[in-house]
């Protein structure tokens, strides 16, 4: 089984990805997870409440999600982005069904309301952060849909144990889904050629990383790749056999990634 | 089987409805359809592109949906409203799964791009209207979810035959779903005590309407009730045995409606 996690940037080539997914029909089951960063940032800016990105003491960036940011998240992720993606996949003959982590408790998370951040050289505590880490995946719901020929198209938010709507890291969720479903192949589609030794230099693509050297390469990760690296480690620990990081902007993003044109971790 | 169509007003008592739905578990299958008028109007106003309501030559009001209004619809209906409702139902122990009409082609509609309206005493033609009428329902997807103990929570948009995202009348969609599933009991929860002979007078509640007098009472329908009346006629024609119109704002909206505290059509 293949799980594809597509980033939420504006540059992702969804019609191309849809064509690639259509080629897999009848070959192996496929499920999809997507982000919606671009749609969220756009809506937040239009509403005059820009997305607030914060940095943890360990240097991992994340989004501070108060009540209003949570509403904007719901409007952008399961609302606008998921609707458009499902319609795009349907137009390519794929019987897509959109699911947020709330549906059937697909992604149940442990809420983490207090957030330590570093700002202006100090460590601060932000309260009422509506985020959580996915601990439990409703694999049964995904399997039912796959068994009946549907393509599950998952996205945040997650639901907390206490039934709150919470933001969650989609890469961490992808790792949890991969573990729950026994996924062998996990593909991350980015707005970059793959894993770069130097984020500023597209020529510094690393074509192949042995799984036991993950930590060594992780030292090169910058910005959002740091968080993705945590998800990748989590997925490898959960038994995923191979992970591809490919460019989501090419004419055939999934085919190219699986052909090894990005980064392969085995 | 019971199908509940809950209006999209801000006054609807969702926790109360959730309690009522929980009481039906194990008794009879239940599915839910909801609107999100209030969420849509609020978002549209904040974005500076207010909802445009137009009147057909026959005096039926509807919303003109251009591309931007369609995006706002997706953000408010499957985005914000559906997420909140699913989380609310989950918090009452109901394993809700949100579905828009796009998911698995749940609501397939015939697009109607040209819209005749009356404005300033003239009949005008509006083009590029992204609406459609639901012609085909994926009953199989709803049944799979019901069979596995999930509560389907449906809302617009619909998908056109040509795979476009289109707005649709939720009451008409409710009638189509009722027909496809062989629903016996259809409940409309409103922000009114039921069907009123005079919309301005809450005391003018009509407690009971024989099904063969539907047209006679339809003459009293005003505003949005005119459109609902079309959905009700469609549902009766499709074989629904009884239709309840109840007040969605009471402590126990569904229980009250089924107890005959609103309007009963048999």
Q: Cβ–Cβ of B102/A80 closer than 8 Å?
A: no
Cα–Cα distance for residue pair B20/B10, rounded to 1 Å:
19
In terms of Cβ atoms closer than 10 Å to its own Cβ (0-12, 13-18, 19+), residue B1 is middle
**The predicted structure's pLDDT at residue B134:** 97
Listed by number, the residues of chain A in 144-173 with a beta carbon closer than 8 Å to a beta carbon of chain B are 144, 148, 150, 157, 159, 163-165
Q: What is the mean pLDDT of residues A163-191?
A: 97
Mutation test of the interface with chain B: which of A65, A79, A154, A156, choosing the one with the most B Cβ atoms within 10 A? A79
Among A46, A74, A90, whose Cβ lies nearest the Cβ of B102? Answer: A90
Kindly state the DSSP code that residue B76 receives in the 8-state scheme: I
- CA atoms of A229 and A189, how far apart (whole Å): 14
Please report the pLDDT score of residue A62 as a whole number: 87
Q: Please give the Cα distance from A191 to A38 (Å, whole number).
A: 12
Whole-number percent of chain A with pLDDT over 70? 100
Q: Residue A76: its chain B contacts at CB < 8 A? A: 75, 79
Say yes or no for a CB contact (<8 Å) between B80 and A71.
yes
Reduced to 3 states (helix: H, G, I; strand: E, B; else coil), residue B178 is helix
For residues A65-87, average pLDDT? 98
**B141 in A contact zone (CB under 8 Å):** yes
| pLDDT value of residue A24 | 86
- Indicate yes or no: pTM above 0.90: yes
Q: What per-residue confidence (pLDDT) applies to B177?
A: 98
Distance CA B202, CA A45 (A): 43
| CA atoms within a 13 Å half-sphere pointing along the CA-CB vector of A234 | 21
CA B172 to chain centroid: 7
pLDDT of amino acid B224: 82
Q: Which among B61, B45, B75 has a CA at the least distance from the CA of B157?
A: B75
Q: What is the pLDDT along chain B (266 residues), one digit of tens a residue?
A: 999 999 999 999 999 999 999 998 888 999 999 999 999 999 999 999 999 999 989 888 889 999 999 999 999 999 999 999 999 999 999 999 999 999 999 999 999 999 999 999 899 999 999 999 999 999 999 999 999 999 999 999 999 999 999 999 999 999 999 999 999 999 999 999 999 999 889 899 999 999 999 999 999 898 888 889 999 999 999 999 999 999 999 999 999 999 999 999 99
> To the nearest 10°, the Cα dihedral for A20, A22, A23, A29?
100
- Mean pLDDT, chain A, as a whole number? 95
Tens of pLDDT, residues A235-262:
999 999 999 999 999 999 999 999 999 9
Contacting residues of A for B100, CB less than 8 Å apart: 83, 86, 98
HSE-CB for A260 with a 13 A CA cutoff: 5
pLDDT value, residue A230: 92
Identify which of A151, A154, A170, A35 has the alpha carbon closest to the alpha carbon of residue A104: A154
* pLDDT number for residue B227: 87
Q: How far apart are CA B232 and CA B238, in angstroms?
A: 10
User: In whole angstroms, how far apart are CA B60 and each of A151, B205, B242?
Assistant: 38, 22, 24
What span, in angstroms and rounded, lies between the C-alpha atoms of B6 and A189? 39
Asked if A78 lies within 8 A of B75 by C-beta distance, the reply is no
Angular region, A134: left φ>0, alpha ψ -120 to 50, beta rest: beta
Chosen from A45, A102, A130, A136 to mutate, greatest number of chain B CBs within 10 A? A102
Contact of B208 with chain A, judged by CB distance below 8 Å, is answered with: no
B95 reaches A (C-beta below 8 A): yes
Report yes or no: B99 and B158 within 8 Å, Cβ to Cβ: no
Q: Kindly give, in sequence order, each residue whose CB lies less than 8 Å from that of residue A121, ignoring residues fewer than 6 positions away.
A: none
Within an 8 Å CB–CB cutoff, is residue A105 touching chain B? yes
A123 touches chain B (CB under 8 A): no
Chain A residue numbers touching B144 (CB-CB < 8 A): 144, 148
Q: CB-CB: which of A82, A90, A163 is closest to B159?
A: A90
pLDDT at res. B35: 97
Q: Cα–Cα distance between A33 and B185 in angstroms, integer? A: 37
At B125 the pLDDT is 94
Check B80 against A86: CB less than 8 A apart.
Answer: no
This complex has an ipTM of 0.96
* Residue B84, number of CB atoms within 10 A of its CB: 18
CA distance A108 to chain B (A): 11
B30 at A interface, C-beta within 8 A: no
Residue B75 touches partner A, C-beta closer than 8 Å: yes
- Number of A/B CB contacts below 8 angstroms equals 111
The answer to whether the peptide bond before residue A157 is cis (omega within 30 degrees of 0) is yes
Region A71-81: mean pLDDT is: 98
Question: B190, B250 in Cβ contact below 8 A?
Answer: no
């Amino acid at each position: 089984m293949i799980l594809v996690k597509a980033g939420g940037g504006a540059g992702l080539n969804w019609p191309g990805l849809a064509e690639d997914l259509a080629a897999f029909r009848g070959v192996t089951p496929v499920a999809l997870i997507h982000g919606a960063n671009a749609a969220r940032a756009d809506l937040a800016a239009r509403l005059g409440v820009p997305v607030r990105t914060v940095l943890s003491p360990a240097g991992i960036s994340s989004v501070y999600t108060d009540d209003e940011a949570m509403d904007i998240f719901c409007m952008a992720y399961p609302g606008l982005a998921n609707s458009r993606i499902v319609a795009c996949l349907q137009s390519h003959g794929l019987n897509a069904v959109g699911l947020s982590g709330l549906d059937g408790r697909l992604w149940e998370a442990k809420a983490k309301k207090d957030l330590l951040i570093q700002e202006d050289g100090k460590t601060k505590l932000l309260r009422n952060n509506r985020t959580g880490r996915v601990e439990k995946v409703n694999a049964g719901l995904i399997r039912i849909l796959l068994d009946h020929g549907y393509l599950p198209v998952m996205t945040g938010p997650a639901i907390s144990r206490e039934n709150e709507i919470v933001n969650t890291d989609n890469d961490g969720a992808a790792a949890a889904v991969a573990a729950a479903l026994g996924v062998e192949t996990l593909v991350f589609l980015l707005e970059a050629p793959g894993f770069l030794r130097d984020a500023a230099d597209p020529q510094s693509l690393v074509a192949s990383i042995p799984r036991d050297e993950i930590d060594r390469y992780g030292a090169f990760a910058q910005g959002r790749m740091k968080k993705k690296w945590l998800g990748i480690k989590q997925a490898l620990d959960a038994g995923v056999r191979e992970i591809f990081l490919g460019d989501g902007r090419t004419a055939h993003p999934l085919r190219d990634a699986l052909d090894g044109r990005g980064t392969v971790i085995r």
